[in-house]
Amino acid sequence: MSDVKKVATRDSYGQALKELGAENPQVIVFDADLAGATKTGVFKKEYPDRFFDCGIAEGNMMGIAAGAATIGKIPFVSSFAMFAAGRAFEQVRNSIGYTHLNVKIGATHAGISVGEDGATHQCNEDIALMRTIPGMVVINPCDDVEARAAVKAAAAYMGPVYLRFGRLAVPVVNDEATYKFQIGKGVTLREGKDVTIIATGLCVNSALEAAEKLAADGISAKVINIHTIKPLDEELVVAAAKETGKVVTVEEHSVIGGLGSAVCEVLSEKAPTPVLRIGVQDTFGESGPAVKLLEKYKLDGNGVYEQVKGWL
């Protein structure tokens, strides 16, 4: 696996913004003193007149973007997930969500794979927060191909979108030549009959690795990539649950309020099914190398495999 191409989805975000800048003059980009880290600096370099640094003032940045959107701009606002979804939650809710303005929130450094910065900067709650806002689309791409496609789709969509990106370089699992992204449509990556593993973000790769190991044990696992947590592809989730009778969710996010919760909400009403929620188990993260943290929190391929195996 060492020859697998790895790209951090924050880099994909920067690249996609740069391409969007050429395609659509209405696209403008805001950051809050993190342009180097969020990769909006890539856009800034090409289109300095359409890039605005708001300084370290995320709440204000959300409001400015909302105001610009009323004039017809397509603002992408960026910060770390902790500050975009966390600190600025109420501004996103009232100035962008309630108004249903055409603002795209590009939140990077989500989850524990932030690594060494530790718990204050590792946001495991953003999907939960953003998902509660009526009309907010929540997208968590799994790799470079999907992330770039998601940014383009978000720009083409009219309304608020929350995009979640990571700091860590992760394997590219999708084939750019054939990949098609559609907001709200899950992707079945592997067929199986014993259990369905529904994953999002960098955990999609972990799920695929786990499925491979389970296969060696004679367990056939279906793997679904849910890149859009809201609106959730309920049809696909319900059909898979009925087909395999057991569901596992995997996310680099708290098991409270994220993908696991979203899947359970749907299944409890439409197709009651036993569900194992793999994710950050109601705890804060900690400092350490990202890959080691994913291992420790059992979100890597082996960790997912062991938990699924133990549960079945």
Residues near another protein (CB under 8 A) are 28, 49-50, 52, 54-55, 57, 59-73, 75, 90-91, 94-95, 98-100
Nearer to another protein, 61 or 304 (CB): 61
Torsion of CA 62, 68, 71, 73, to 10 degrees: -100
What is the smallest separation between the CB atom of 104 and another protein, expressed in angstroms? 14
Query: What's the chain's Rg over C-alpha atoms?
Result: 18
Nearer to another protein, 55 or 272 (CB): 55
What is the smallest separation between the CB atom of 135 and another protein, expressed in angstroms? 11
Residue 58 is among the residues annotated as catalytic for this protein: yes
What is the smallest separation between the CB atom of 20 and another protein, expressed in angstroms? 16
Query: Which region, left, alpha or beta, applies to residue 109 given φ > 0 means left and ψ of -120 to 50 means alpha?
Result: left
Query: Contact at 8 Å (CB) between 136 and 1?
Result: no
Three-state DSSP at 40 gives: coil
Q: In 242-263, which positions are buried (b, 16+ CB within 10 angstroms) versus exposed (e)?
A: eebebbbbbbbbbbebbbbbbb
Longest dimension (CA), the chain: 58
Whole-number Cα distances in Å, 100 to 17, 43, 70, 75, 132: 22, 25, 10, 13, 14
What is the smallest separation between the CB atom of 5 and another protein, expressed in angstroms? 37
Q: How far apart are CA 281 and CA 255, in angstroms?
A: 6
Query: Contact at 8 Å (CB) between 301 and 206?
Result: yes
Nearest to 75 by CA among 62, 84, 85, 88: 62
Nearer to another protein, 50 or 190 (CB): 50
Query: Contact at 8 Å (CB) between 101 and 70?
Result: yes
Catalytic-labelled residue, pool 19, 58, 146, 209? 58
Beta bridge partners of 224: 188, 198
Which of the 8 DSSP states describes residue 158?
S
What is the smallest separation between the CB atom of 60 and another protein, expressed in angstroms? 4
Nearer to another protein, 55 or 274 (CB): 55
Nearer to another protein, 50 or 246 (CB): 50
Q: Name the residues annotated as catalytic.
A: 58
